[in-house]
Amino acid sequence: MARFFVESVAPTDQFLVLEGENAAHAKVLRLKNGEAVTVCDGKGTDYACVVSDVSNGRISLVVQHMNPSESEPKIAATVYMGFSKADKFEHVIQKATELGASRIVAFPCRRCVARPDEKSLAKKLERWQKIAASAAEQSGRGRIPEVAALPSFEAMLKEAAAAELPVLFYENERARTFQSAIQAGPFQSAALITGPEGGFEAGEVAQAEALGLNICTLGSRILRCETAPLCALSALMYAAGEF
């Protein structure tokens, strides 16, 4: 069933209108009167609707009932990834959204090669948020994950440490497994931290450990920077009973 995110929808609305990009998308799908569609507020509520009118650039809908979205995971997982080449971070935004991340955050660290300046960052964030919205729509999410960028490694650590299960994945860690960290749960929130192309420096890992974060391996194979967060997120969702 077609699914649209609409920002301005209230629980009391009986009628809705799809405009702009949503209407263009509806046109591609050739929606007709009487067809059922789902409208989502992007905050966890779905509205089951029926198309009542299709005219130039506007699709009118009648709301039939509302429900909490059934596709949101129980665990709130934030994916923190060191600034990497744009295409890699964009790949992670799309896939992490599909896999159920609640938030996707870029942060600077010592071996980052591609740290955008303030001006280009604002533009990038806008673009990144659109990628998340589009992936949320396609994968049937009930919420659009927030995409953010933090100003420093320290700010990232501080924020991540507030999660019930904060984990920094380090390629030189051999002994401590993600399983051992997860088995201390159940947890309601997790922070999954992975590095940029060049990985983390030992000093950064020590900083994280000093703050009480779990330092874990993702196995004995070296994962690319865009593979590691998605591997960790898949494993977390599996362990949390999502599939």
Spatial separation of the C-alpha atoms in residues 71 and 45, rounded to whole Å: 10
**Binding interface with a copy of itself (CB under 8 A):** 70-71, 73, 95, 98-100, 138-141, 177-179, 216-224, 227, 230-232, 234-235, 237-239, 241-243
Residue of 202, 194, 190 lying closest to 223 (CA atoms)? 194
Q: In what order do the strands lie in the sheet with 146-149?
A: 146-149, 103-107, 76-82, 189-194, 165-169, 214-216
Q: Which is nearer to a copy of itself, 26 or 95 (CB)?
A: 95
User: Cα dihedral sign for 174, 179, 180, 185?
Assistant: positive
Residue of 45, 71, 73 lying closest to 190 (CA atoms)? 73
Amino acid identity of residue 74, one-letter, is: K
* CB 49, CB 62: distance < 8 Å: yes
* CB 161, CB 122: distance < 8 Å: no
For residue 216, count other CB atoms closer than 10 A to its CB: 21
Three-point CA angle 103, 105, 106, nearest 5° = 165
Spatial separation of the C-alpha atoms in residues 85 and 92, rounded to whole Å: 11
